[in-house]
């Protein structure tokens, strides 16, 4: 068993903290109070769960690295390590490879490759292209293997081909990856999960899962199939798409003992089929809030669940599910409503303005022309009653489209 698969021992924690401290001393990034950590200071450790048939354990909270990272030594990741948050979720496309480079620099400086679980992803869904992206990623990450490698944002089951299976097996044999799977936020998520369970060679899937979709039968059945087949399940987008409704959820933050953000994370962890939840943590405040929720074993109470349900109901019309085959078809222009809504969410809710603008700028030219388009058909077509026209008007303003 590799060290990244288990809780960091006290001795290792001290080693990591000391290394973090040494780096802080030279970079001035970390304060002296953070130099030593772990059990010595009585710091609680994030619980761990087994990731499907891999048999490896990972913390229930994962560091989503699709955020602005310090390119030399990111203090948030170092801080997370002190609490046992030793899983970093990277991707070739995050920050135009700067994410993988930042993770590589940090792990190399800590000399902690064996102590940190690195997941990365490729946008390429053809075996050769994926292999090429992985090779480039390994160089950026300054390592000769990643723990888990994903096909990023999978939309169709056809990519779970025999050729891809052979490639995954080859990469494992060569020691370049330990496990293989895919991430998806496609509308066809349930079908993709079922296909993975049937395929038998997918180790783990990262997919959109949150309090808004607990009741979806098809998804729940597919999750059960995955659990039965030993496919590890990792939740993302746990906050449930909050574009443009900060005011609507703000009032919930003072209810009960958890903030809304913590409560919906705990709601995901309440599902034992989920091994872990990935969270993009842009600030120390978010990091600490998430860690506090993860280390506190107290389960949500009835009042918390009721508040979540109420919140879900009241904000339903603001929450976009990404099922844009429905609304796009109702608009007479080649727009990409689901993607645009997601980028708007990054901008408005997560404060990831540069990332949002960059992603929007990456859409095809015609998809970026939002002004003058009649979105009334999409308003009527959306099964959740999302005010598409209002969101697109806001997107046009924010992205200057």
Positions touching ligand SF4 (CB under 6 A) are 320-324, 326-327, 337-338, 341, 382, 384, 386, 388
Least Cβ distance, residue 319 to ligand SF4 (angstroms): 7
How many CB atoms lie under 10 A from the CB of residue 103? 27
Round the CA-based radius of gyration of the chain to a whole number and report it. Answer: 21
Nearer to ligand SF4 among residue 35 and residue 323 (C-beta): 323
CA distances in angstroms from 196 to 23, 146, 154, 223, listed in the order given: 42, 21, 11, 10
Least Cβ distance, residue 341 to ligand SF4 (angstroms): 6
Nearer to ligand SF4 among residue 322 and residue 351 (C-beta): 322
For residue 328, the surrounding DSSP H or E stretch is helix 324-328
Least Cβ distance, residue 188 to ligand SF4 (angstroms): 13
Least Cβ distance, residue 387 to ligand SF4 (angstroms): 9
Least Cβ distance, residue 186 to ligand SF4 (angstroms): 11
Nearer to ligand SF4 among residue 242 and residue 321 (C-beta): 321
Least Cβ distance, residue 381 to ligand SF4 (angstroms): 6
Nearer to ligand SF4 among residue 109 and residue 212 (C-beta): 212
Residues 6+ apart with CB under 8 A from 362: none
Residue appearing with tokens 């499907």: 52
Nearer to ligand SF4 among residue 170 and residue 316 (C-beta): 316
Q: Where are the beta strands (DSSP E) in 31-124?
A: 48-50, 57-59, 61-64, 87-89, 117-122
CA distances in angstroms from 65 to 119, 283, 346, 368, 399, listed in the order given: 10, 12, 14, 26, 23
N-to-C CA span, the chain: 51
Least Cβ distance, residue 327 to ligand SF4 (angstroms): 3
Nearer to ligand SF4 among residue 25 and residue 313 (C-beta): 313
Helices (H), 120-188: 127-141, 162-173
Pick the closest to residue 201 from 151, 238, 241, 268 (CA basis).
Answer: 151
Nearer to ligand SF4 among residue 47 and residue 322 (C-beta): 322
């Amino acid at each position: 068993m590799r060290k990244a698969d288990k809780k960091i021992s006290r001795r290792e924690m001290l080693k990591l903290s000391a290394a973090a401290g040494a780096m802080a001393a030279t970079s001035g990034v970390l304060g002296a109070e953070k130099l030593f950590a772990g059990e010595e200071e009585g710091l609680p450790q994030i619980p761990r769960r087994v990731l499907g048939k891999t048999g490896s354990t990972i913390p229930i909270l994962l560091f989503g690295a699709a955020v602005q990272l310090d390119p030399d030594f990111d203090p948030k990741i170092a801080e997370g390590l002190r609490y046992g948050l030793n899983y970093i979720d990277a991707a070739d496309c995050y920050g135009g490879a700067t994410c993988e480079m930042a993770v590589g620099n940090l792990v190399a400086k800590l000399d902690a490759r064996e102590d940190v679980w690195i997941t990365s992803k490729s946008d390429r869904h053809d075996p050769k292209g994926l292999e090429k992206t992985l090779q480039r990623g390994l160089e950026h990450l300054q390592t000769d293997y990643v723990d888990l490698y994903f096909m990023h944002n999978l939309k169709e089951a056809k990519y779970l081909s025999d050729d891809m299976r052979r490639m995954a097996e080859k990469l494992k044999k060569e020691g370049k990856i330990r496990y293989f799977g895919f991430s998806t936020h496609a509308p066809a998520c349930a079908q993709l999960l079922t296909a993975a369970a049937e395929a038998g060679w997918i180790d783990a899937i990262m997919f959109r899962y949150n309090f808004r979709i607990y009741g979806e039968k098809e998804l729940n059945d597919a999750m059960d199939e995955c659990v039965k087949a030993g496919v590890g399940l990792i939740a993302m987008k746990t906050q449930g798409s909050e574009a443009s409704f900060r005011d609507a959820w703000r009032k919930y933050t003072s209810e009960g003992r958890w903030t809304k953000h913590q409560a919906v994370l705990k709601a995901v962890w309440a599902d034992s089929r989920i091994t872990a939840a990935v969270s993009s943590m842009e600030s120390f405040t978010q990091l600490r809030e998430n860690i506090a929720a993860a280390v506190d074993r107290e389960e949500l109470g009835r009042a918390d669940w009721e508040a979540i349900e109420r919140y879900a109901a009241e904000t339903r019309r603001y929450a976009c599910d990404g099922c844009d085959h429905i609304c796009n078809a109702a608009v007479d222009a080649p727009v990409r409503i689901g993607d645009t809504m997601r980028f708007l969410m990054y901008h408005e809710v997560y404060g990831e303005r540069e990332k949002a603008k960059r992603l929007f700028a990456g859409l095809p030219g015609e998809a970026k022309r939002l002004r003058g388009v009649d979105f009334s058909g999409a308003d009527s077509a959306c099964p959740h009653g999302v005010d598409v026209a209002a969101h697109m008007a806001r997107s046009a303003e924010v992205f200057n489209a």
